[in-house]
Structure 1
Amino acid sequence: MKKITLFLIAVVFTYFIGNAQYVFSPIDGPINVAEGSPVTYNLNDITNTAGVTAPSSGSYSSFRVSVDWSNGSGVPWSIEADLTVITSSGSINIDPPTSGGANSTSDTTIIFEGDLPNLYNPTTDAYIDMVFNQSYGGSNANWSNIIVTLYEAPSCPNPTNPNAINIMATSADLQWTEAGSSTLWNIEWGATGFVLGSGNTVSNLNTTSYNLSGLSQGTSYDFYVQANCGNGDFSNFVGPVTFTTLIPSRINFSQQPITVNGYDLAVVDMNGDFLDDIVGVSSTNVNIQEQNTDGSFTNINITTPNADYLPGWSMAAADFDANGKTDLLYGAGSGVTFMQASNDGSSFTEQSTSQYVFSQRSNFVDINNDGNLDAFVCHDVEPNVYFINDGTGNFTFYQSDVTAGAPYSLGNYPSGGDYGSIWIDYNNDRNIDLFIAKCGGAVERRTNMMITNNGDGTYTENAAAIGLADPMQTWSSAWGDFDNDGDMDVFVGASSGSHKLMENSGFSDDGNPNNDYVFTDVTAGAGINAPTGWESSAFDIDNDGNLDIISNGSIMYGKGDMTFEDADDNQINYKNGSFGDLNNDGFIDAYYNGVRYYNLGNSNNWVKISTVGMAHVTPNYSNRNGIGARVELVTPSGTQIRDVRSGEGFEFMSSLNTHFGIGSDTSIIEIRVYWPSGMVDVFENPSINTSHVLVEGSAPLSIEDETFSDISIYPNPVDNVLKIKTSALLTEKIATVFDLTGKRVFNQKINANELNVSSLQTGVYFLRIESEGRSIRRKFIKK
């Protein structure tokens, strides 16, 4: 996989102006530079392989190398170029380039700047060499028009340690350290990238600090500093130091440490009290910081059998044996381990794969909709794998299109490239679908996939048909209804290159189903502002009723119209971490690496929901966590939707509770839960600013849709196609077929007032047509 280079602070170099310099004649090239085969050029020794004239005298302290860089083969990036300069007194490596490098194969000019190990005198020092290199395995690039410049040291010493501190929305304190006997300093500053001589200047400062005010918030600036030794003797300008002024945070987070041992990748309720706990695991231990009702935590360590594999790549959590205690999945680089909690939660049993699995994102989901939670794991270098639950927590391993008799094909590219899986219902047919964010290698390998659940026990890959087959580099995606129009949109977070925000068209109402639920790129102008990386998720951080995107530590606040504002990367860690409610106050918090990031909230209202499926009590109901359920919240301001899911982002496990912000609304009209079993519950007038445990079947759909009073179905008995006759409009209505035991066996949207029921076995069935909390039922016989 690619090396990911993060720029978190500015690197300071000496900028040379007004001092003697020596410019070598250009090395025309092109020079092919390959990983593992660095190219060395001798600029000044007996061989002089560069073939350029070297300086004959001088005392040089620093250098600048300019290179025209172009793509060779093997997917090199310009940011992976590095340069080592060697003299008789030592060497210095510049990696990545000082400027011009990018996570891209596009042609560019890269610059390397730095200070030589010691003063270089060509009359006494034996040599000066340059070593060119590319750092990504199997790649190479072409370097040409290489221009090397050496700069002589000034007599007035350069200031050292320039820095910007106390950075606020409109001000920052600039500081540096005196070198030598200078007592006056000059600074020059401006928008990042400005050219020295064109910026704002402050001269003859007699202190080594300066408060720079009157800045614009959320803006990147550079500054340089120069020493004035008097009598016209000046040092070089040192810089740039780059800093960015703050944007006043919409939501502030406070950080509080806590000790969690091992791979601390999960925020999830472990003991069945619906309060989010923090979980870390090691080879023989599960460490739980268990949340108490007062917001404090109790540390619990449970010794486990030895785990064959640890979650070096991801962790998922759910109650897969339906005993009321949460079980765990560890996704490792060579296999998968399950830790199954006992009925009282005081111990775990272990089961691990014997098959090789290079795990990436992992999930729990009911793949075959039998009421038992199955597991899915992205495979980095082979087709994806999944584990079908027999109902007691024992799993059968399948690899898509590899294992004989594998019932589903859930990502079958031979060399994998599958990184970020997430299970969502993108087309509102009440069937849970699978989106896979992909990365690396050939275009086909890194093209994202949508594996659509057909509602009849089969899945079909159709990303290209709906506009999601992007050959980008991505490790995760964030799904949510970002414009509150009733369907799931998606933010695909780039690990390199550019992020994409894709809007779901929803139902087109033009009579052509191929135009329904397709996706359009609306990134431009949407206010997307996040670094590249691995992690993307969606939550309503400020509880205003609009979903926000959290990507690689940047919170982008949603406006409810597919646009975002007030991006804030100063609140949580770059890795995002796990999300949940760590003090039960109704605001989403985060946890990463021993730190709780508490959301300090605002005055907005909220509601939190824990779904409890009842398959463990009643046959043909849903899995105990309600994973795969669609939850709809109706308030005076409109309808919001969520899907209950286990495993999102790339690495971490977040809360199984469903959270809604409702802004200034002071009431909820109803909450509708569409369970995977086909059961629909409608909870009317629930309280706000509290948590609700919603149990499957406790508020069943009972309101008959009067618009269907004249409905009839024919032929009955039916061979293959069941026709529906009514004066009402059936567009977007959901048809669910149950057998006599109440098991959901078929679920689809109605198209052209008919249903293809050819896949059903001979017998008696019930057809339910439902939409927006109302339904009607009819019985039919399949021949």
Structure 2
Amino acid sequence: MKKIILLFTLSLFIIGCSKDDSTNELPIVNACASPINLSVNNLTNTTATLNWNASGNAALFQVEYGEFGFSQGNGTQLNVPDEFTNIEDLQPSTQYTFYTRVFCNSTQTYSDWANFSFVTLADNPYCNDPSSFSQEFYPDSVTHNHVDLSWSEGAFDGSQIQYGLQGFTIGSGSIKNVTDNIYPSSTRIENLNAGTAYDFYVRNICENSGYSAWVGPITVTTLNEPANPNCVDPYNFVSQGTGTNTDGSKYFDFSWDHEASQNSWEIAVVPVGTAFNTNIVTATSFQPVRLSYNGVTSGQAYDFYIRSNCGTADGFSDWVGPVTVTAQ
């Protein structure tokens, strides 16, 4: 019996010692210290300078950044030799987090990550916004595959156009840098789809200070694909009024836009409700033009159509219309 009690006592002692040993184990400490004093300066709406300090001798830092709450490994990753780095292409009024760690030469290992969060500005105090952004309004400024744009107060370093289908989200569009001139104020966006509505934005490029805010959108719809590529359809065909001449005939005024090389057109008219036909066609080389007709009844509505005449070699464009006008 005494032997049993002795063995039981020894077992309790051994178990007690095992528990005591586990509670006295020290946590593993990374001998490579993490960067400290994380901060951000030179902050704008799209750029920031990330800063930190390392306590030891180091020549390599890893940085990862993204919008607040991103999972590490899914952000933008950089390897930099200094205790700072400049980042750009951020979104305005957005919260970001950056992580950084150091590679310690003494231990040949990486430290633990340190992190810091910040919010970009809504505007850039160091880069003025462009103004008076619009579609150009001259012949050929809009065709089935290009749009001409203009703006004021461009920057010395140039401007940037972002565009996409109407309603696209900023950041997902196509980008064109306009840097062929200092203080540029216009550009042509090419290779667009016919008969399609696009949104356009512009911002200034300030090389050492990021970008201005995006200005826009303006929405422009390209023309339909011409059936005859050698003779582009006239467009913006509109009525400019109607009235009665002194001889009792009725007149109709029209204007339209066209390719710069075009100088001859045909205009057809049919009563509303009548199928399109070319029984009554007037040729003209004037734009705008006043057309007069006998036998027209006041209060009667008429449909007008127009097409370009590009000569024997290039033929005619499609008929464009109708524009409906009620005779006075």
Report the TM-score, using the length of structure 2 for normalisation. Answer: 0.36
Compare the two structures and name the one with the higher helix fraction. Answer: 2
Higher relative CO (Cα under 8 Å, sequence separation at least 6) belongs to 2
Report the TM-score, using the length of structure 1 for normalisation. Answer: 0.17
